[in-house]
Structure 1
Amino acid sequence: MSHALSRSTATLIGLLAVVLWSLLATLTAASGDMPPLQFTAVTFAIGGVCLMIVRPGAIKAMRQPLSVWLVGVLGLAGYHFAYFFALKNAPPVEASLINYLWPVLIVVMSAMLPGEKLRWNHIAGCVLALAGTVLVVTRGQGLVLEAQYVLGYAAALFAAFAWASYSILSRRLARVPSEAIAGFCLVVAVLAWLSHLALETTVWPTSPWQWVAIVGLGLAPVGLAFYVWDIGVKQGDIQILGAASYLAPLLSTLLLIVSGYAEFSMSVVIACGLITLGAVVAAKDMLFRRQAAVEIAPADAG
């Protein structure tokens, strides 16, 4: 297992994954027209190889029972394949919103974990953050679900359950070193490449900047993000991580605005307030417990 960390430290490390995932949309927009399965194969290969290089224990960590490999590979592959399928078979706004049920599912499902207790502030934080995410993704224009896209909606819902289940099961596999993520990424890369060869036409980047974006995706939102998320869900406060994950679509939208891929709107400002408030409410216990400890310490010292 990775070195034991305090619950707060592991939670903060896990939150780094949320920041890294916010880069996904901007880097993807700059990466060209590579088809989804090829894109998955290349970025997961980059992420897996880089983790193997920077984390020498990754090779040893690959010696895991079949059950661990099934959780890791099926979790990562199942989520990404289902999400890409949803985007191709349903409007992206609706598919994205259904997919973003996974933070709520993580918070609710965490009640099944040993030693975890679901509190009102976790649910309230998720509801506030989800409301903010609806504003971000729909741009305040409302949401319409159409029967003709039911297959795509179902795939998006499956993706949400896949990532939530993967995160919860990872907590139950806390003794598995986080370095094992490197092996999972490489297997997913192989599966994605085989699927790509069977279903897609190969398209390679046409400029150095597109390659920079793709390499950046493999290094940050894939390799490093999965690694720190694994540390967070195994050793940190998984309920805070679930609620705070709604920061990803907000930060992603802000980056798209700054980089010129999206336009600023008042709905983004309102969403910013709702998601930030939701994250603070969900993390209430950790934030105020730490503040109380700081205030009490001088009195104890005296």
Structure 2
Amino acid sequence: MTNQKQAMLFGLGTVLLWSTVATAFKLALRDLAPVQLLLIACASSVLVLGVILLVQGRWHLVFKLRKRQYLQSFGMGLINPCLYYLVLFAAFDRLPAQEAQPLNYTWALVLTYLSVPFLGHKLRRVDIVAGLICYAGVVVIATRGAVTSLSFSNPLGVGLALGSTVIWASYWILATRDQRDPVVGLFLNFLFALPVIALICALTEGIQFRPMASVGAAVYVGAFEMGIAFVLWSYAMKKAENTSKVSNLIFISPFLSLVFIYFILGEEILPSTYIGLVMIMGGLWLQQRKVSAQKQRLVHES
């Protein structure tokens, strides 16, 4: 099997896992508060990532970082998972999955915009057009099709969902300067964030978790969305001979996610959700297609 085929398989596995997490979020949040979900998910992710490092024979790398990098792990952990997932889970707690999930996908666009002041990237005309298309789709979804009234179904939930995209994009901008091994870095981020999350949970909602179905969903979120999916996607990017083909797989995820939302959660998918999601994905595709074309041109010129 060629490296590209392996990359596509790893990518498809990641997309499948990403497609299920919105449903898992809502199942866990039926009986758990967002911070309780985060505590269980973070602990599960630490365990899974630790096992992965052991199996890969890279556990020793956890102890070979500089003091500054351990401090960095604590700081990054406060952003992800602590702040990011608290905000994201709070959004899912207030919005139907079919609304929260597409809004979260606009983080890629936010990353482009934040890269202008913080990384010195140039804002292109296509980025502006893509933004107008994407956020028009956001309005369609958030108003459930009542665009002219601008009456949002849950303003706080929409604000939290969009706010989570800013936090996530900011995290990845900071990660561009991260010299740690990606899996080791993620493991340490979650490990150092875990006591903070546990303290917040103990002081607010408590740490008694009785409904096993919700706990199981929370464990699934931590093991697969926060842990295994990240590792699979890393493998996909390393194996890929054509990264754009693998990256394009992410456009399958939100539509496949609606299938799980409909059949498992029983949410009736509104026409406005389909329209808004197509607009968001169309804007992101337009932006990514332009970037891919520029990369290919640079390769040919070199």
TM-score normalized by structure 2? 0.69
For residues 135-164 of structure 1, give each alpha carbon's deviation from its aligned partner in whole angstroms, at most 9, with x where no partner exists. 344432454369xx87x8876665443222
In the TM superposition, residue 28 of structure 1 has moved relative to its aligned partner by: 2.4
Q: How does 1:1-302 map to 2 (within 5 A)?
A: 20-31=17-28, 32-56=30-54, 57-58=58-59, 60-61=61-62, 63-64=65-66, 65=68, 66-76=70-80, 77-84=82-89, 92=95, 96=100, 102-112=107-117, 116-142=121-147, 143-144=150-151, 159-173=164-178, 175-179=179-183, 180-207=185-212, 209-226=213-230, 251-288=256-293
In the TM superposition, residue 127 of structure 1 has moved relative to its aligned partner by: 3.1
Distance 1:273 1:135 in 2: 11
Pick which of 195-204 and 45-54 moved more: 195-204
Distance 2:16 2:143 in 1: 21
SS of the equivalent of 1:259 reads helix
* Structure 2 unaligned residues grouped into runs of 5+: 241-245
> Does the C-alpha gap of structure 1 residues 68 and 37 become closer, same or farther in structure 2, counting only changes over 3 Å?
same
Letter in 1 for 2:151: V
> Does the C-alpha gap of structure 1 residues 193 and 71 become closer, same or farther in structure 2, counting only changes over 3 Å?
closer
Letter in 1 for 2:21: L
For residues 82-140 of structure 1, give each alpha carbon's deviation from its aligned partner in whole angstroms, at most 9, with x where no partner exists. 4455677xx547x9598776433211112246584433323333432333344344432
Instruction: Assess if the C-alpha contact under 8 Å between 1:51 and 1:58 holds in 2.
Output: no
Matched-pair identity in %: 23
Distance 1:13 1:110 in 2: 28
SS of the equivalent of 1:144 reads coil
Pick which of 102-111 and 250-259 moved more: 250-259
Pick which of 164-173 and 56-65 moved more: 56-65
Distance 1:122 1:245 in 2: 19
Instruction: Assess if the C-alpha contact under 8 Å between 1:256 and 1:262 holds in 2.
Output: yes
Distance 1:52 1:286 in 2: 35
Distance 2:113 2:249 in 1: 14
Letter in 1 for 2:41: T
In the TM superposition, residue 247 of structure 1 has moved relative to its aligned partner by: 7.2
Distance 2:191 2:169 in 1: 21
Distance 1:107 1:14 in 2: 22
Distance 2:17 2:48 in 1: 16
Distance 1:193 1:40 in 2: 9
* Structure 1 unaligned residues grouped into runs of 5+: 297-302
Give the RMSD, CA atoms, in angstroms.
Answer: 4.8
